[in-house]
Every structure is written in structure tokens, then in C-alpha cells.
Amino acid sequence: MTGFLTGKYVGDWRLAEDTEISGAVIGAVTVGAGLSLRMRGRIGGDLVLEAGARAQVIGAVDGAIRNHGGELDLNGDFRPDQMGVATPPAPSPPPRAVQAPAAHPAEVVTMPAREPPPPAADHPAEPVAGPQPEA
């Protein structure tokens, strides 16, 4: 991935580069042709995939999911009625382009398809209580 973002962002986004987001986007996210999105968290609006776009979402999408010929991998909280058929995108004001902040260096991530999410860092696995070894 080219851009790596963490946190909560408000507003509609049209990705300008391959992007990984860990957190929330309160608004619509459009993944342009030939670009990819890896999302861990929540999209508070619609998710739109243009032809040739790729998206992996581990989390939730609150709005409609519009796939115009992209590749979509969903893991999380989704309703069947969110999966719309391919429709022409509605005209909208131009969203801002998103690029990785200068404080975060670019990172290359290689990921096999349908990789299970790792345990959350803030919820470490608890040890299983069992018989104690004799001293």
C-alpha cells in the first residue's frame, strides 16, 4: 500500500493512491479504477468501487455498497440489502484527494486473499488457565 492512515476522518473521499485505513471514515469512500483499499474499521457512508478497483473491508459499512466492476472482499458487519447492483455513479461535488501524511512513511504490504485479521492490539489474548506444573 502507498498510504497508511489511522484515526477518524470526516468527509467524502476519493482515493488518489492505494490506501490502508485503520479507523473510521465518516462519509463515502470511492476507490478509483486500478486502485486498492484495505480498511480495518468503519465506513460511515457508501463504499463505491470503480471498474478494476479492489477493496478489502474488515469492519462495517453503514451505507450502500456500489460495485461498478471492482473486486470486493468483506469481513464484518454487512446487510444483504447494502449490496446494490452496478449503477452509474450519481453526480456529486468533487471529493478531496487523499494522500498519506508526511509523518507516515510509505509502506509496502503484501497480503494473500482473504487473510484473517490478527488479534486487536488493545485486546490481547488471555492465557488459558489450566493445571500448573509441579515444582
Task: Confirm if 94 and 76 have CB atoms less than 8 A apart.
Answer: no
Q: What is the pLDDT along the chain (135 residues), one digit of tens a residue?
A: 467 888 888 999 999 899 999 999 999 999 999 999 999 999 999 999 999 999 999 999 988 899 999 999 988 877 666 665 444 455 555 556 555 555 444 454 454 555 556 655 555 555 544 455 565
Task: Confirm if 20 and 7 have CB atoms less than 8 A apart.
Answer: no
What are the cell numbers at 56?
478489502
Q: Which of 4, 19, 3, 6 is nearest to 54 (CA)?
A: 19
The pLDDT of residue 133: 55
Q: Is the pTM of this model over 0.85?
A: no
Count of beta carbons in the 10 Å neighbourhood of residue 44: 18
**Side chain identity, residue 53:** A
